Structure 1
């Protein structure tokens, strides 16, 4: 009887810990990413660049939210998190290069993996975490041109983690980091030329962290399908699906 009650209580606590708003954020980030990559299917769809600017900051926000809500994360859980990112970084690189024309960076998962190390190094004041964070920052600085979203992309999870429990106006800080990660020089030049897509993209980068935080704080009661570890496979798979679509439309 005692064992049954204990199992029931454990299951109930586990269900309560599931954050529907966080799952919704992840699904919307995935949708934004797919919309962004639809630009390479073969039709002129530059406008999709704008909603695509939401994907990376919202994935970084999801990472920061997971780190912020775990007060004392287990070492094994931390390594598994990093391990899944590194595994699918490797598995995704070939589909990424098959689909994206002439890529000049790695896929986005190495950036997220380094960002995780940096954010966790700040969160956990122990020597091993700090050394890993320092190493991640050094790699980001040395290979910024090879990382999608560059050095500032690696800093974005930490920037969001720093403000995740603060008032909404603090979200301007990660908004600026997000803009810097999105080739702001090119966007700024295009804005000066009057390009409306670039203007909308700049605005989206600036408000993306705030929009994500607003969603996490106010989308109470939503129950989308939970996004679990299998969702990592959606990253390489979506490249293959879009590649097949492009070939079918050719």
Structure 2
């Protein structure tokens, strides 16, 4: 996922010069502790745990120690998605080239599809399920359309623009369900709320959580987004994009070799 280096006037406050040198002011956008790179690597680890659980542990659940470990992995695995989609929305506001950003998501969506099918279904092609890169591309396209509409309607009352966004979100939700993309309409709604409440993450979280209510432990991931300090951090763009298909390819090969 793409993250850019920036600061905004409403972003997270830096450490204050007080008697407590480590104190930070908590705002509606959280408390700045972790960079985009640090959050992203936490999400990568969470995703790897989740996918390993589904590929290698689920087939052997027996109510014993494996089930207990799997339960822990289920909790840890819910951290990843909220962070990734949060970073996607942040990236939208600060990328220099939105077309390139969207194109990269679509390209790696195509690259990731066979590894995704191998990992999730144990086959090379599964037309009834599509990977998260396509989901993120849909979210990016949706908020882009809504943002352009906002600029064109800036002279009108904001409520008019807000009402106009509702059918757009509904249409994209329907498309996501028909294309069977990962997280389908849940992701679309979460991306919308993160856009609407941009720079007010603490307000966005309850709405995002309701949109993902079937995954209660996702709250851990949404909570971690409040620690974002607005800095990109040291990261490798190619690694960011390749991690998703490569780790699924490895897990998919293991699954198919073991006949799971």
Indicate which of 103, 108, 113 corresponds to 2:137: 113
Q: CA deviation at 1:155?
A: 2.3
The reply to whether residue 233 of structure 1 matches residue 260 of structure 2 is: no
Determine if contact 1:152/1:177 at 8 Å carries over to the other structure. yes
Measure the CA separation in 2 of the matches of 1:54 and 1:173. Answer: 17
Q: Distance in 1 between matches of 2:169 and 2:120?
A: 26
Partner of 1:206: 219
Cα distance in 2 for residues equivalent to 1:27 and 1:120: 26
Q: In the aligned structure 2, how far is the partner of 1:98 from the partner of 1:167?
A: 36
Measured in 1, the distance between the counterparts of 2:144 and 2:6 equals: 21
Aligned Cα RMSD in Å? 3.5
What secondary structure sits across from 1:226 in the alignment? coil
Q: Distance in 2 between matches of 1:106 and 1:242?
A: 17
After TM superposition, the structure 1 = structure 2 runs for residues 169-184 of structure 1, keeping only pairs within 5 Å, are 169-179=203-213, 184=214
Shift of 1:82: 0.5
Query: How far, CA to CA, are the matches of 1:210 and 1:123 in structure 2?
Result: 26
Instruction: Measure the CA separation in 2 of the matches of 1:170 and 1:142.
Output: 23
Tell me the CA shift for residue 23 of structure 1: 1.3
Partner of 1:41: 55
Q: 156-165 or 86-95, which moves further after superposition?
A: 156-165
2:177 corresponds to which of 131, 135, 144: 144
- 1:23-102 counterparts in 2 under 5 A? 23-43=37-57, 44=61, 45-68=70-93, 70=94, 74=96, 77-101=97-121
- The question of whether the paired residues in 2 share the 8 Å contact of 1:57 and 1:178 is answered with no
Distance 1:153 1:167, change over 3 A: closer
Structure of higher RCO (CA pairs closer than 8 Å, 6+ residues apart): 2
Q: How many residues align?
A: 204
The answer on whether the counterparts of 2:81 and 2:221 sit within 8 Å (CA) in structure 1 is no
Equivalent-residue separation in structure 1 for 2:104 and 2:117 (angstroms): 20
The match for 2:191 is: 157
Give per-residue Cα distances to partners, 1:98-134, cap 9 Å, x unaligned. 111366521111111111111222223367xx99x97
Q: Distance in 2 between matches of 1:57 and 1:42?
A: 24
**Distance of 1:174 and 1:233 partners within structure 2:** 27
Instruction: After TM superposition, give the deviation of residue 46 of structure 1 in Å.
Output: 3.8
Deviations 1:31-88 (A, max 9, x none): 11111101133234243122211211111100111223x2xx55xx111100011111
Q: Is the 8 A contact 1:58 1:209 kept in 2?
A: yes
Structure 1, unpaired ranges of 5+: 1-14, 185-200
Q: Give TM-score scaled by structure 2 length.
A: 0.65
Distance 1:141 1:16 in 2: 34
